[in-house]
C-alpha cells in the first residue's frame, strides 16, 4: 500500500507549547496563590481594624509566627498524623482495589459484598470510632483504621465504575485475538479503569486526612488532631491555627503527590484532560 | 477444506432483547462468501450490518441459523481473522505502534518478528513518524488507519470491515479504497466489507449483497463484472453507473432513498 498522507499533520503543536510565552506552572499556581495572599491580607487588616483579641481570631502574622517558633513541636505531631494518613490510605488501596476487582469479576461478590458495602456507608464512621479505642487502645492502629474506613469507599466505587465502563468493541477486538479473561483484564479493563481509579485515589487521600484527625480526636496523646484539642482547651488559638496550617499543608502535599503519580502513570489521560480544559477556556 | 465457500450464512437471524421489547435485527440471512472473494454488504442504517459482522466473527450470539467459516460452524470468538470496526477502537494508553502490536502480543506471537512489518504497514498508510504518538495526538482518519494496520499485522485469511472508511475525508477515502483493492489483489484474503456507500461497494466488490431495512434480509446479490484492477475512472463508465443505479433503485423502492 503506497499512500500519501492526505490529511496532513495533526493540527498545531502540543498543548503546552501553544500557551505561548507564559509557562504552564505560572498560570497554574498564580491564580490560587494570588487568591490566598489576598485573603490573608484582608484577614490581617480586618483583625487589626476590628481590634479582635488573638484568642478569638489571631491575625495571620501571629499564626505564622507560631508556625515558625513552634516548628519543632508542630513537625513532631505532623509526622505522627502523616504516618496515620499514609497507612490508612495504603490500606485502602491494598484492600479497596482487589475488592473492586472481585466485585467486577465475580457474580457472588457483586451480589453479596457490594450491597453490604454500599449500605454500610450510611453508618457514620465517627460514630464507631470510639469503639476502636475500646478495642485497640490509644496507639496508632485505631487512627489508621478510621482513616482506612473513611477513605476506602471512594476507591472501591471508582475502581468498580472504571473496570465496568469499557466500550464493547474493545472487548470484541481483544476476543477476536484469542484473549482470555486475564488478557482482557490486564490489557483492556485495568488500564481503561486507571483514570477513574485515580479520581477515587484523590478523594481518598483527602478523606484519609480527615479520618486520621477524627481518630486522634477520639483518643490520642500525639498528632495534629491531639494538638488541636490541647490548643483549643488552653484557648491557644494561635497554636490552633498553626496546627491547621500544618494540616492543610499535609493535605495539599499528599494530594499533589497522588497527582504526580497519576501524571507519571497515565500521561495519555492527563494530557487529554489538559487539552479539554484549554479548549473550554 | 480446499473447496466450498470461505464464509457461509444460512438462515441467520438475530433478535435483540431491549428494554422496550425484542428488536428483530436480522431475519433469515442466507449467502456465501467464496474463497479470495471480496463481498460487500450494503444496506440502510440500522438494517443489521454491524450485527451480522459481529455474529460472523462469533462475538455476538445469533438467535437462529448457522454460520460456517471454512466449513466449521462458528461457535464463540473466531481468531483466524482481522476486524476493523466503525470506530477506530484504539487503546488510549498505548502508542500507535503498540496498538498495532497488541494483536501480536495477545496471540503470543514473537514481537521481534512482527515489529518491522508493523512499521512497514504504518508507513504504507502514511503514518511514518507517528509510531510513538498516542492516539489522542492523531486525527480521526489517522486513527482509523492505525486500526486497519492492526487488523492486517498478523496476515489473517479473512478481513471483516465495518464501514472502515466512514469517518475519513473524501480524498483519504479514495486513496484507502485503492489501497484496499491493491492489498486484496496481492493477497489471498477474503474480505467481507460493510458499507453505506453504493459507489464504494461497486468499485471494490466481486459481489454486493444488498439488504432490506430492518429486519435485515438479503434483498438481492449483484455480481460486479468489471475488470481488475479497477481505476477511479471506472466510476464514470456506463457499466459502473448501471450497477449503481440498479442498487439505488432497490433503496428507492423501499423508500429509504427519496428522489425529489
Ligand atoms: N445491543 C443492542 N440492543 C438492542 N438493539 C440493538 C442492539 N444493537 C443493535 N440493535 C438494533 O439492531 C438494529 C441493527 O443494528 P446494527 O448496528 O447492526 O445496524 P447497522 O446496519 O450496522 O447500522 P449502521 O449502518 O447505522 O451502522 C438496529 O435497529 C439497532 O437499533
Ligand atoms: Mg453498523
pLDDT category of residue B54 using cuts at 50, 70 and 90: very high
- Local structure of A2: helix, strand or coil: coil
Which chain B residues have a beta carbon less than 8 Å from that of A1? 121, 124-125, 179, 182-183
pLDDT category of residue B140 using cuts at 50, 70 and 90: confident
Whether the CB of B23 sits within 6 Å of ligand 1: yes
Can you tell me which atom of ligand 1 is nearest the CA of B214? Answer: 29
**Higher per-residue confidence, A137 vs B62:** B62
Q: Cα(B180)–Cα(B122) distance, rounded to whole angstroms?
A: 14
- Output the pLDDT for position A225: 94
Q: Chain B residue with minimal CA distance to A168?
A: B89
Q: Which of B49, B83, B84 to mutate to test the pocket of ligand 1 (most atoms within 8 A of CB)?
A: B49
> What pLDDT, in 10s, does the model give residues B121-130?
999 888 999 9
pLDDT-wise least confident of A16-25, B27-36, B153-162:
A16-25
Domains and CATH numbers, chain B: 7-80+157-254 (3.40.50.300), 91-156 (no CATH)
B183 φ, ψ (degrees, to nearest 5): -55, -45
Question: Closest Cα partner for A191 from B31, B90, B113, B130?
Answer: B90
Which chain B residues have a beta carbon less than 8 Å from that of A266? 93
- Output the pLDDT for position A10: 46
- Output the pLDDT for position A281: 45
What pTM was computed for the model? 0.84
Whether the CB of B48 sits within 6 Å of ligand 1: yes
Backbone CA torsion sign across A69, A72, A75, A80: negative
> What pLDDT, in 10s, does the model give residues B210-221?
999 888 899 999
- pLDDT over 70 percentage in chain B: 98
Whether the CB of B51 sits within 6 Å of ligand 1: yes
pLDDT category of residue B224 using cuts at 50, 70 and 90: very high
Q: Using a CB–CB cutoff of 8 Å, tell me whether A72 touches chain B.
A: no
Torsion of the alpha carbons at B57, B62, B65 and B71, rounded to the nearest 10: 20
Q: How many CB atoms lie within 10 A of CB A16?
A: 11
CB-CB under 8 Å, A173 with B124: no
* Across B172-199, average pLDDT: 91
CB-CB under 8 Å, A268 with B142: no
- Output the pLDDT for position A273: 62
CB-CB under 8 Å, A275 with B54: no
**Closest CB to A178 among B83, B107, B134:** B107
> What pLDDT, in 10s, does the model give residues A149-186?
999 999 999 999 999 999 999 999 999 999 999 999 99
- Output the pLDDT for position A278: 54
Cα B50 to ligand 2 centre (Å):
4
Q: Cα(A88)–Cα(A225) distance, rounded to whole angstroms?
A: 15
Q: Tell me which long-range contacts B13-22 makes (C-beta under 8 A, separation of at least 24).
A: B13/B62, B13/B63, B13/B64, B13/B65, B13/B215, B14/B48, B14/B51, B14/B52, B14/B55, B14/B60, B14/B62, B14/B63, B15/B63, B16/B51
Residues with pLDDT less than 50, chain A: 1-17, 19, 280-281
Question: Closest Cα partner for B180 from B196, B169, B193, B171?
Answer: B193
Amino acid at each position: 500500500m503506497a499512500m500519501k498522507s492526505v490529511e496532513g499533520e495533526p493540527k498545531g503543536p502540543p498543548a503546552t507549547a501553544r500557551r505561548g510565552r507564559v509557562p504552564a506552572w505560572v498560570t497554574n499556581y498564580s491564580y490560587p496563590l494570588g487568591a490566598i495572599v489576598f485573603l490573608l491580607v484582608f484577614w490581617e487588616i480586618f483583625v487589626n481594624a476590628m481590634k479582635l483579641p488573638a484568642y478569638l481570631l489571631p491575625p495571620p502574622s501571629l499564626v505564622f509566627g507560631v508556625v515558625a517558633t513552634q516548628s519543632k513541636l508542630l513537625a513532631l505531631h505532623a509526622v505522627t498524623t502523616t504516618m496515620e494518613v499514609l497507612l490508612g490510605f495504603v490500606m485502602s488501596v491494598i484492600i479497596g482495589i482487589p475488592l473492586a476487582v472481585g466485585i467486577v469479576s465475580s457474580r457472588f461478590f457483586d451480589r453479596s459484598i457490594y450491597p453490604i458495602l454500599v449500605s454500610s456507608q450510611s453508618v457514620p464512621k465517627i460514630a464507631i470510632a470510639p469503639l476502636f479505642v475500646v478495642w485497640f487502645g490509644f496507639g496508632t492502629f485505631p487512627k489508621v483504621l478510621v482513616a482506612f474506613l473513611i477513605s476506602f469507599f471512594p476507591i472501591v466505587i471508582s475502581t468498580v465504575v472504571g473496570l465496568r465502563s469499557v466500550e464493547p468493541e474493545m472487548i470484541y477486538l481483544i476476543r477476536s485475538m484469542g484473549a482470555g479473561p486475564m488478557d482482557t483484564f490486564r490489557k483492556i479493563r485495568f488500564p481503561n479503569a486507571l483514570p477513574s481509579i485515580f479520581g477515587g485515589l484523590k478523594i481518598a487521600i483527602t478523606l484519609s486526612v480527615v479520618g486520621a484527625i477524627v481518630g486522634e480526636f477520639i483518643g490520642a496523646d500525639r498528632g495534629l488532631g491531639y494538638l488541636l484539642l490541647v490548643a483549643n482547651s488552653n484557648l491557644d488559638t494561635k497554636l490552633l491555627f498553626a496546627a491547621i496550617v500544618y494540616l492543610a499543608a499535609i493535605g495539599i502535599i499528599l494530594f499533589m503527590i497522588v497527582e504526580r503519580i497519576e501524571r507519571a502513570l497515565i500521561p495519555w489521560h492527563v494530557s487529554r484532560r489538559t487539552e479539554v480544559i484549554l479548549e473550554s477556556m | 477444506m480446499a473447496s466450498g465457500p470461505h464464509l457461509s450464512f444460512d438462515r441467520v437471524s438475530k433478535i435483540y432483547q431491549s428494554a422496550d421489547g425484542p428488536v428483530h435485527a436480522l431475519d433469515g440471512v442466507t449467502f456465501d462468501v467464496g474463497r479470495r472473494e471480496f463481498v460487500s454488504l450494503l444496506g440502510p442504517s440500522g438494517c443489521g450490518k454491524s450485527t451480522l459482522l459481529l455474529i460472523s466473527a462469533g462475538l455476538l450470539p445469533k438467535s437462529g441459523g448457522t454460520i460456517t467459516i471454512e466449513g466449521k460452524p462458528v461457535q464463540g470468538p473466531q481468531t483466524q481473522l482481522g476486524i476493523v470496526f466503525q470506530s477506530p477502537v484504539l487503546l488510549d494508553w498505548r502508542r500507535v505502534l503498540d496498538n498495532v502490536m497488541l494483536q501480536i502480543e495477545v496471540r503470543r506471537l514473537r514481537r521481534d518478528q512482527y515489529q518491522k512489518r508493523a512499521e512497514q504497514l504504518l508507513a504504507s498508510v502514511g503514518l511514518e513518524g507517528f509510531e510513538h504518538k498516542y492516539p489522542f495526538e492523531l486525527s480521526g482518519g489517522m486513527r482509523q488507519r492505525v486500526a486497519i494496520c492492526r487488523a492486517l499485522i498478523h496476515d489473517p485469511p479473512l478481513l471483516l470491515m465495518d464501514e472502515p472508511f466512514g469517518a475519513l475525508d473524501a480524498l483519504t477515502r479514495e486513496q484507502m479504497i485503492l489501497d484496499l483493492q491493491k492489498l486484496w489483489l496481492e493477497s489471498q484474503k477474503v474480505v467481507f466489507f460493510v458499507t453505506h456507500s453504493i459507489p464504494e461497494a461497486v468499485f471494490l466488490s466481486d459481489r454486493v449483497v444488498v439488504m432490506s431495512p430492518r429486519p435485515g434480509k438479503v434483498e438481492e446479490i449483484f455480481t460486479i463484472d468489471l475488470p481488475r484492477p479497477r481505476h477511479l475512472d471506472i466510476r464514470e463508465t456506463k457499466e459502473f453507473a448501471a450497477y449503481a443505479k440498479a442498487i439505488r433503485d432497490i433503496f428507492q423502492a423501499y423508500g429509504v432513498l427519496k428522489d425529489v
